[in-house]
């Protein structure tokens, strides 16, 4: 069964993608929840026209995302956390703190687009995170967790 996605769905596709899913998944989950529409002939024509109109805007977004990724590559990130005597952090460092640190550098990224490779982070050290700036622009950055 072919459906047109109305939203980004993790591990399935992005908004306005035409994807093939199993019949039950499409009819019982995606369509009733409003996440997708059935790809009929009329819906496909509307989808093609929508994609054609959005192509210029998407290209501009991709260029801006690439520029942000290049800016972030050259910068060093440091996140401060309260540390006990044994070197363990009180609590943990997550993508919210990383998003705040990146925002201080002048790049605004929503926390849901940041995935930490080593989660949860409970000790001081150097770690990596994968940031999705755009569906085609994904970067891995390194950041350091330091004790305050």
HSE-CB for 132 with a 13 A CA cutoff: 12
pLDDT value of position 37: 94
Asked whether residue 99 falls in the same domain as residue 35, the answer is no
Q: Each residue of 21-68: pLDDT tens digit?
A: 999 999 999 999 999 999 999 999 999 988 888 888 888 889 988 988
Distance CA 30, CA 110 (A): 25
Asked whether residue 21 falls in the same domain as residue 52, the answer is yes
pLDDT value of position 51: 85
- pLDDT bin (cut points 50, 70, 90) of residue 7 is very high
- pLDDT bin (cut points 50, 70, 90) of residue 2 is very high
pLDDT value of position 40: 93
CATH of the domain at 28: 3.40.5.10
Q: How many domains does the chain have?
A: 2
Percent of the chain with pLDDT over 70: 100
Distance CA 21, CA 43 (A): 17
Residue where one domain finishes, among candidates 30, 61, 92: 61
Asked whether residue 117 falls in the same domain as residue 139, the answer is yes
Q: What is the DSSP string of 45-91?
A: HHHHHHHHHHHHHHHHHHHHHHHHHHHHHT--EEEEE-B-TTSEEEE
pTM of the model: 0.67
pLDDT value of position 16: 87
Q: Report in angstroms the alpha-carbon separations of 22 from 1, 41, 82, 113.
A: 6, 19, 48, 27
Q: Each residue of 107-130: pLDDT tens digit?
A: 888 888 899 987 788 888 899 999
Asked whether residue 99 falls in the same domain as residue 138, the answer is yes
Domain that holds residue 30: 2-61
Asked whether residue 76 falls in the same domain as residue 54, the answer is no
Asked whether residue 76 falls in the same domain as residue 51, the answer is no
Reply yes or no on whether the pLDDT at 9 is more than 80. Answer: yes
Asked whether residue 99 falls in the same domain as residue 141, the answer is yes
Asked whether residue 73 falls in the same domain as residue 57, the answer is no
């Amino acid at each position: 069964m072919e459906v047109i996605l109305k939203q980004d769905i993790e591990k399935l596709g992005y908004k306005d993608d035409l994807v093939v899913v199993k019949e039950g998944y499409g009819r019982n989950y995606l369509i009733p929840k409003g996440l997708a529409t059935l790809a009929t002939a009329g819906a496909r024509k509307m989808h093609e026209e929508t994609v054609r109109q959005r192509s210029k805007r998407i290209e501009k977004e991709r260029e801006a995302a690439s520029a942000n990724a290049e800016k972030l590559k050259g910068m060093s990130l440091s996140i401060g956390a309260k540390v006990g005597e044994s070197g363990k952090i009180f609590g943990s460092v997550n993508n919210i703190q990383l998003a705040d640190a990146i925002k201080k550098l002048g790049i605004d990224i929503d926390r849901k687009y940041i995935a930490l490779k080593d989660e949860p982070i409970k000790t001081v050290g150097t770690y990596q995170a994968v940031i999705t700036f755009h569906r085609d622009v994904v970067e891995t950055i390194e950041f350091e967790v330091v004790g305050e």
